[in-house]
């Protein structure tokens, strides 16, 4: 069973490079040679005969060992992974580094491996709503538009005015948006420029941070201060009924899927969270309520806000842990629940309004977070830390919950 599970974990690599069988077995099963004589004999044979097929053999335990809750280890990138997305039907994972790789979640098979032959590293992966296209921009100002069905791709050189660099992309089913600090360009799916427009804000004071389109007439533009030392942000909402008055806030924000509610920090010199609702008739966001304060929210910086899939739980990431607000009908808790990290462990901000993620189990009895190379598990009943899972060889960057049928899992990349 151990051998079969090790082959399953290494299936993505072995399907492409079968000569790496010996290195996969050694890298995964070294901890098992003590209690298991047969495994020891197998690994000894791999060590002796493996170089006849592939000279690259590990010297120590360097790959995930099968067993426990680990379902798949999807490996295939030669460089660090800079982003991944689950398709809307939760059947596939698309990831980027210097190439696009797509995995089938039901089998762990590598279904697409597209190398666009770029000189840089791709960043900020986005998928179109119908999952037919993926796009990412690179650190040398190129944008790659990939057809996920045919593996055809288009490389778009920097279309922005002189002095602007590409800082974000967004996809609709028929349009690609590429923006810099004060300019946004719209392309069709053949990579042809359709339109170019300038920001409504002064890019020296409020450069673009990101944008989200539902349709060509309904979209949201997020601006930031341009300095990592200043966490001020501004949201402009454009609806078919007309533009909203801008909403200013700081530090962190998250919106519901229908874009009708936003949670953000608007109190000066405090990191308390306020709920705002969209009122199209009045063309503005109106404050509905301030959420119960977490401990030390006057000094504890809020790095990220995130809603769960049902949008009944709001989770905030702070420097020293996580804060949870439960809006579900079953919840009797009115205050904020705090999940502290162990002494000496801290969350860091990877990008403005982005940091380590925490999520709630399907049964709503545990909260799980990935920090550094560990997974931390807290009890939802009292906020106590109940388990620390150390089974990874790199820093955990991002987590996404995945529930399909009767299996619940956490997808992460490091």
Among 20, 53, 73, identify where a domain stops.
73
> Has residue 45 been placed in a domain?
yes
Domain that holds residue 342: 315-414
pLDDT at residue 333, as a whole number: 81
pLDDT at residue 62, as a whole number: 79
What's the whole-model pTM score? 0.85
> Has residue 381 been placed in a domain?
yes
> Has residue 157 been placed in a domain?
no
Among 21, 51, 73, identify where a domain stops.
73
pLDDT at residue 363, as a whole number: 83
> Has residue 47 been placed in a domain?
yes
pLDDT at residue 181, as a whole number: 97
Residues 6+ apart with CB under 8 A from 222: 208, 209, 210, 211, 212, 233, 234, 235, 253
> Has residue 126 been placed in a domain?
no
pLDDT at residue 210, as a whole number: 97
Please give the chain's pLDDT, 414 residues, in tens.
778 888 878 877 888 889 999 999 998 898 888 888 999 999 999 999 999 998 888 888 878 777 666 777 787 888 888 999 999 998 999 999 999 999 998 887 889 999 999 988 998 999 999 999 999 999 999 999 999 999 999 999 999 999 999 999 999 999 999 999 999 999 999 999 999 999 999 999 999 999 999 999 999 999 999 988 899 999 999 999 999 999 999 999 999 999 999 999 999 889 999 999 999 999 999 999 999 988 777 778 999 999 998 899 999 999 999 999 999 888 778 889 999 999 999 999 878 899 988 988 888 889 999 898 888 999 998 899 999 987 566 778 888 877 655 545 555 554
> Has residue 271 been placed in a domain?
no
pLDDT at residue 204, as a whole number: 94
> Has residue 399 been placed in a domain?
yes
Among 47, 73, 99, identify where a domain stops.
73
> Has residue 209 been placed in a domain?
no
The domain total for the chain is 2
């Amino acid at each position: 069973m151990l051998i079969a599970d090790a082959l399953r974990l290494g299936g993505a690599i072995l399907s492409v490079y079968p000569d790496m069988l010996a290195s996969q077995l050694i890298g995964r099963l070294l901890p098992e040679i003590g209690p298991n004589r047969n495994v020891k004999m197998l690994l000894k044979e791999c060590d002796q005969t493996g170089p006849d097929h592939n000279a690259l053999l590990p010297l120590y335990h360097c790959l995930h060992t099968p067993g426990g809750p680990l379902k798949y280890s999807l490996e295939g990138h030669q460089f660090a992974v800079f982003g991944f997305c689950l398709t809307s039907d939760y059947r596939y994972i698309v990831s980027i580094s210097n190439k696009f790789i797509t995995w089938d979640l039901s089998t762990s098979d590598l279904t697409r491996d597209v190398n666009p032959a770029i000189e840089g590293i791709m960043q900020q992966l986005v998928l179109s709503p119908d999952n037919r296209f993926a796009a990412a921009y690179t650190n040398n100002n190129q944008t790659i538009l990939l057809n996920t069905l045919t593996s055809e791709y288009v490389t778009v050189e920097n279309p922005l005015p002189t002095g602007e660099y590409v800082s974000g992309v967004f996809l609709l089913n028929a349009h690609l948006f590429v923006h810099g600090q004060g300019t946004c360009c719209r392309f069709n799916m053949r990579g042809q420029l359709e339109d170019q427009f300038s920001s409504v804000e002064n890019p020296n004071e409020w450069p673009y941070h990101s944008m989200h389109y539902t349709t060509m007439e309904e979209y949201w533009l997020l601006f930031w201060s341009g300095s990592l030392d200043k966490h001020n942000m501004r949201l402009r909402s454009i609806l078919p009924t007309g533009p909203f008055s801008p909403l200013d806030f700081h530090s962190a924000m998250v919106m519901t899927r229908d874009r009708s509610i936003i949670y953000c920090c608007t109190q000066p010199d405090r990191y308390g969270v306020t709920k705002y609702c969209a009122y199209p008739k009045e063309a503005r966001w109106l404050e509905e309520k301030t959420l119960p304060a977490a401990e030390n929210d006057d000094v504890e910086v809020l790095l990220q806000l995130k809603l769960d899939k049902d949008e009944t739980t709001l989770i905030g990431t702070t420097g020293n842990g996580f804060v949870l607000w439960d809006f579900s009908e079953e919840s009797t808790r009115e205050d904020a629940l705090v999940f502290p990290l162990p002494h000496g462990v801290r969350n860091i901000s990877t990008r403005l309004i982005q940091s380590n993620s925490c999520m709630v189990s399907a049964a709503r009895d545990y909260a799980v977070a990935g920090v550094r190379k560990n997974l931390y598990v807290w009890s939802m009943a009292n906020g106590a830390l109940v388990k620390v899972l150390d089974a990874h060889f790199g820093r955990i960057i991002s987590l996404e919950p995945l529930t399909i049928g009767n299996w619940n899992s956490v997808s992460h990349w490091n």
